[in-house]
Amino acid sequence: MRWLPSRMQTTTIKAACPHDCPDTCAMLVTVEQRGEKRVAIKVAGDPTHPTTRGALCTKVSRYLERTYHPDRVLHPLKRVGPKGHGAFERVTWDEALDAIAARLKSIAAIDPQRIVPYSYAGTMGLVQGESMAARFFHRLGASHLDRTICATAGAEAMNHTLGTRTGPAMEAFADSRLIIFWGTNAIASNLHLWSFAQEAKRKGAKLIAIDPYRSSTAEKCHQHIALLPGTDAAFALGLMHVLVREDWLDHDYIARHTLGFEALAERAEQYPPEKVAAICGITASEVEALAHDYWHLRPAAIRLNYGMQRVHGGGNAVRAVTCLPALAGHWRSPAGGVLLSTSGMFNKDMAALQRPDLLAGRTPRTINMSTIGAALHEADPPIDALIVYNSNPVAVAPQSPQVAAGFAREDLFTVVLEQFLTDTADYADYVLPATTQLEHVDVHGAYGHLYVLANNAAIDPLGEALPNAEIFRRLAAQMGFTEHCFVETDEEIAAQAFHRSGTTANFDWETLKRDGWQRLAVPERYAPFADGGFPTASGNCEFISSSLAALGLEPLPDYVPPYEGPTSNPELARRFPLAMISPPARNFLNSSFVNVESLRATEGEPSLEIHPVDAQPRGIASGDRVRVRNDRGSFELAARITDRARPGCVVALSIWWKKLARDGRNANEVTSQALTDIGRAPTFYDCLVEVERSG
């Protein structure tokens, strides 16, 4: 930590943004000493960090509003009203921990698998995320949680194709001549990469967005290709068809570094542009033109994000797109290839962080977090206790009516570690007050760049809030867990976060705390697969995947139609003719920040964007209250008539807290718990609905 005295008696603390965002910004927190108290007075981006470059997004620029928000939960709370009503009384930490430990012990005596952790990326920190918490649940023998709600379809698809998750460095996009934003609104969810893309644009690069929605990113690109949701794999196969037909192929790269070209070419043969155009709701010339650009504008970089994988065929879609750079030889340049995530480059020491040895040979069942609604009703043995941290499942999990009904079960014991009384916390038997990033220590990898970061605590915890790791440390003591790992401090855990080998050979916690960030040990001109070297079983980019075949899955990329679409389910499509997607609102991050008034005010009220050709026959005008419905549920919001939503597709920017919406509902009322083809992930954007005026 570097202390910088000034006339104002302020200090600057090196920190890291904790949120679920590929940019993982390096932050500088200015702290003023007021008597005994340290008060954070400013957060800013670290100008020395190579991708943050001094800028935070609007959301995290308001982080002080979050930390000092009057609604912060600052004391342990015990439920006094019906579940879901959010009525609590203040209790002491001792009372809360006594009661929780007693209940968990009695459930564990029957079967510890009846206790289920539920967590995701409320913080991306390795200490306040899954370290002490994982140790606690391993020691207990609780159910495992399959953490699928965001990234596993794409992550597993990348692993099966490239052998890992990496791609061009964020900074290298400045040197690309073609940048394709595929299923991503970078301005909302990858702002710093967008800034490198702007540099490329100024140097003459062409920017193309592929997205059913004309997002703010698509509006600023040279071209926007508006596919129907869930048809991305068909489009990628159509591009391959043209590349093969025109012999726009890097034969040398294909011969030396890929597996299964002939089979892939045969598969692509089945996707001529006219057929692809019909599937995707575009023109054949859009397929032809993009294939032409993809070969001639070199190097070309594709920025994939998770939007395209939230459908039945999401894994195959990522596989298909991921094959493109090897066909055209774009991996040869640092500024070419495809980037979904760099998370495979961080050499985390998960065994040290999470201590799976504490399972002592037990093999608990696994609950998929994406189907928690069903699991709360159907799991056998039943779920008797849920410990929720870093997540807000009542708002964010699919098919919310079933999720909420599960959380309302009187026999379910629910503990929620939270900063605010979220939709989920309202169902808790106990709410335990958790610190924000300014109040605790953490260490971070990233999934959009190539740096590790330290988060030093800028201020003391507010009220009686505690870091997640400390809450689990105290719970472990209350449960009688005596292993040494349960008394390790947060700093001791942080110091073990990465192996001291490979890309993190230089990791040293003391140095990282002082400097704030450190680049992985990768070459300055990072081009991960310029000379092949794919860490797959064959050592090649696997167009045909033996690992998928071993799982009994289709080994070649293919187009898997949405569950809910006119070809796969014509009867459903007749009753519910519109495809709904619910991508991130720019001022929210999943469900974080929805309760920050200034950000919510910028976002306005929950709204549904609908194309004039879909609005007119339904008698819907801009500003009308409309009901979006299907067989799973319904919710209401204000209509916005706009051609930003393509015909046949409606857009509900998300994820609103249900209790902050006028009707107490959000888009997950209608989403389903069906899972992706690869990765067991949710299919939020595979969702047919009907829309009508609500009167």
Nearest approach in angstroms of CB 57 to ligand SF4 is 3
* Of 22-30, 90-98, 571-579, 659-667: span binding ligand SF4 (CB under 6 A): 22-30
Q: Is the peptide bond before 612 cis (omega within 30 degrees of 0)?
A: no
In terms of Cα–Cα distance, which of 670, 464, 643 is closest to 581? 670
Residue 520 makes contact with ligand SF4 by CB under 6 A: no
Residues 186 to 245 in contact with ligand SF4, rule: CB under 6 A? 191
DSSP assignment of 453-483: EEE---SPPSTT-B-HHHHHHHHHHHHT---
* Of 13-21, 203-211, 468-476, 593-601: span binding ligand SF4 (CB under 6 A): 13-21
In sequence order, the 6+-apart residues with CB closer than 8 A to the CB of 555 are 260, 544, 545, 546, 548, 549
In sequence order, the 6+-apart residues with CB closer than 8 A to the CB of 201 are 207
Determine the Cα–Cα distance for residues 425 and 86; give it in Å rounded to an integer.
7
In terms of Cα–Cα distance, which of 156, 151, 150 is closest to 548? 156
- How many positions of this chain bind ligand SF4 (CB under 6 A)? 12
Instruction: Supply 550's token pair.
Output: 């071993």
Nearer to ligand SF4 (CB atom), residue 120 or residue 271: 120
Residue 23 makes contact with ligand SF4 by CB under 6 A: yes
Residue located via tokens 């129907």? 228
Residue 25 makes contact with ligand SF4 by CB under 6 A: yes
Name which position in 14, 38, 59, 332 contacts ligand SF4 (CB under 6 A). Answer: 59
Nearest approach in angstroms of CB 40 to ligand SF4 is 15
CA angle 361-364-368, nearest 5°? 145
* Of 23-31, 253-261, 335-343, 686-694: span binding ligand SF4 (CB under 6 A): 23-31
* Of 53-61, 240-248, 265-273, 356-364: span binding ligand SF4 (CB under 6 A): 53-61
Nearest approach in angstroms of CB 59 to ligand SF4 is 6
CB 16 within 8 A of CB 2: no
Nearer to ligand SF4 (CB atom), residue 454 or residue 689: 454
Determine the Cα–Cα distance for residues 221 and 473; give it in Å rounded to an integer.
49
Q: What is the DSSP letter of 283?
A: -
Nearest approach in angstroms of CB 46 to ligand SF4 is 11
Determine the Cα–Cα distance for residues 116 and 386; give it in Å rounded to an integer.
5
The H or E element spanning position 688 is: strand 688-693
Residue 60 makes contact with ligand SF4 by CB under 6 A: yes
Nearer to ligand SF4 (CB atom), residue 534 or residue 588: 588
Residue 655 makes contact with ligand SF4 by CB under 6 A: no
Nearer to ligand SF4 (CB atom), residue 453 or residue 651: 453
Q: Work out the burial of residue 597: count CB atoms within 10 Å of its CB; fewer than 13 is exposed, 13-18 middle, 19 or more buried.
A: exposed
Q: Work out the burial of residue 350: count CB atoms within 10 Å of its CB; fewer than 13 is exposed, 13-18 middle, 19 or more buried.
A: middle
Name which position in 13, 15, 28, 57 contacts ligand SF4 (CB under 6 A). Answer: 57
Instruction: Supply 646's token pair.
Output: 């393509």
Residue 596 makes contact with ligand SF4 by CB under 6 A: no
Nearer to ligand SF4 (CB atom), residue 23 or residue 429: 23
Residue 170 makes contact with ligand SF4 by CB under 6 A: no
In sequence order, the 6+-apart residues with CB closer than 8 A to the CB of 115 are 104, 107, 108, 137, 140, 142, 143, 384, 385, 386, 387
CB 71 within 8 A of CB 595: yes
Name which position in 13, 14, 15, 21 contacts ligand SF4 (CB under 6 A). Answer: 21
CB 320 within 8 A of CB 160: no
Q: Work out the burial of residue 491: count CB atoms within 10 Å of its CB; fewer than 13 is exposed, 13-18 middle, 19 or more buried.
A: middle
Nearest approach in angstroms of CB 516 to ligand SF4 is 14
Residue 637 makes contact with ligand SF4 by CB under 6 A: no
Nearer to ligand SF4 (CB atom), residue 59 or residue 348: 59
Name which position in 11, 12, 24, 590 contacts ligand SF4 (CB under 6 A). Answer: 24
Residue 17 makes contact with ligand SF4 by CB under 6 A: yes
In sequence order, the 6+-apart residues with CB closer than 8 A to the CB of 84 are 404, 407, 408, 426, 427
Nearest approach in angstroms of CB 535 to ligand SF4 is 27
Determine the Cα–Cα distance for residues 308 and 492; give it in Å rounded to an integer.
39
Nearer to ligand SF4 (CB atom), residue 23 or residue 175: 23
Name which position in 11, 14, 19, 104 contacts ligand SF4 (CB under 6 A). Answer: 19
Nearest approach in angstroms of CB 132 to ligand SF4 is 24
Nearest approach in angstroms of CB 160 to ligand SF4 is 28
Determine the Cα–Cα distance for residues 682 and 228; give it in Å rounded to an integer.
18
Nearest approach in angstroms of CB 23 to ligand SF4 is 4
Nearest approach in angstroms of CB 270 to ligand SF4 is 40
* Of 14-22, 240-248, 257-265, 333-341: span binding ligand SF4 (CB under 6 A): 14-22
CB 99 within 8 A of CB 368: no
Nearest approach in angstroms of CB 52 to ligand SF4 is 7
The radius of gyration computed from the CA coordinates of the chain, to the nearest angstrom, equals 25
Nearer to ligand SF4 (CB atom), residue 600 or residue 640: 600
Name which position in 56, 375, 441, 620 contacts ligand SF4 (CB under 6 A). Answer: 56
* Of 18-26, 321-329, 393-401, 524-532: span binding ligand SF4 (CB under 6 A): 18-26
Nearest approach in angstroms of CB 49 to ligand SF4 is 10
Query: Residue 480: left (phi > 0), alpha (psi -120 to 50), or beta?
Result: left
Nearest approach in angstroms of CB 60 to ligand SF4 is 3
Nearest approach in angstroms of CB 67 to ligand SF4 is 14
The contact set with ligand SF4 (CB under 6 A) reads 17, 19, 21, 23-25, 56-57, 59-60, 191, 589
